[in-house]
Structure 1
Amino acid sequence: MRIDKYLWCVRYFKTRSLATTACKKGHVRVNGAAVKPSREVYPTDKIEVRKDQVNRLLTVLDIPPNRVGAKLVDIYRVDTTPKENYDHLDLLKHAKDHYRKQGTGRPTKKDRREIDEYLEDNFDRDESNA
């Protein structure tokens, strides 16, 4: 089976064309070598897929006849991705929360609420002191 079709069948990519594009860009490696989308995959091959800024490692157990359900994916592959790679993904998610530097651009809805809350608290204090 072709590598792009295999990655689509075991649900690493939503469409086969996305898997093909990832292969063409060099985000997919089989046994340490970058591969073209037409590269054949065999049991015991070690595949490294870079997706969402995380290097996912998997070992091919068997070749599926066609796209399989999410519950059956583990029959055809073993995910050997280290926990550190997923921790890196969590850090990226937290980093996106603080993407905008203070004072640049229009305030977000959350910023607006925080500003309103701050002003209400200060306004209430000023009235009580007067």
Structure 2
Amino acid sequence: MPAEKAPPDKMRLDKWLWAARFFKTRSLATQAIEHGRVKLTGERVKPAREVRPGDRLDIHTGESVWTLTVRALAMQRGPAPLAQALYEEDPDSHARRQQQARDRKLAASPAAAIKGRPTKRDRRQIHRFTGE
């Protein structure tokens, strides 16, 4: 009967971000770190930087900014409830993200509904409007 592995005391930052489900792949996590969207204790770091429980992270994903403390490490990616147990979000960060979500819901961008090229109907309306 094989002995179970003890959880590690440190791991790569890009791997932790992937396991905590902030990014869909490790390569996306690596890109975000390299572009300065992830900071460890307020400093830009490299993807191979080791993260330990108790470290503070600032993560910029899209329009959201997460400020959190690493609580645990995971060797592999698991379901969302287990991933959420890996970190504890700062209360101010949580309140700010909730406010941003409410603001987006109330004042949706008019361009958000436009996706891709105009349809034939859209093109005809554009030509009528511009007088072409």
Please confirm whether the aligned pair reaches a TM-score higher than 0.5, indicating the same fold.
yes
Structure in which a larger fraction of residues adopt helix: 1
User: Deviations along 1:13-43, whole A, 9 cap, x unmatched?
Assistant: 0111100000000000011111111110011
Matched, 1:75 2:91: no
TM-score, length basis structure 1: 0.69
Whether 1:8 aligns to 2:18 is yes
Match of 2:103? 91
- Specify the structure having the higher radius of gyration (Cα): 1
SS in 2 for 1:82: helix
Q: Tell me if structure 2 keeps the 8 A contact 1:61–1:75.
A: yes
Q: Structure 1 98/48 Cα, relative in aligned 2: closer, same or farther at 3 Å? A: same
- Equivalent position amino acid for 1:46 in 2: R
- Counterpart residue number, 1:127: none
Counterparts of 1:45 and 1:72, CA distance in 2: 19
Give the alignment of 1:47-126 within 5 angstroms. Answer: 47-80=57-90, 81-92=93-104, 95-99=107-111
Structure 2 residue runs without a partner (length 5+): 1-10, 113-117, 122-132
Q: CA deviation at 1:73?
A: 1.7
TM-score, with structure 2 as normaliser: 0.68
The 2-side partners of 1:93 and 1:79 are apart by 22
Report the aligned-residue RMSD: 2.7
- 1:25 corresponds to 2:35: yes
Cα distance in 2, alignment partners of residues 18 and 29 from structure 1: 15
The alignment of Structure 1 onto Structure 2 pairs a total of residues equal to: 106
Q: Which moved more, 1:67-76 or 1:19-28?
A: 67-76
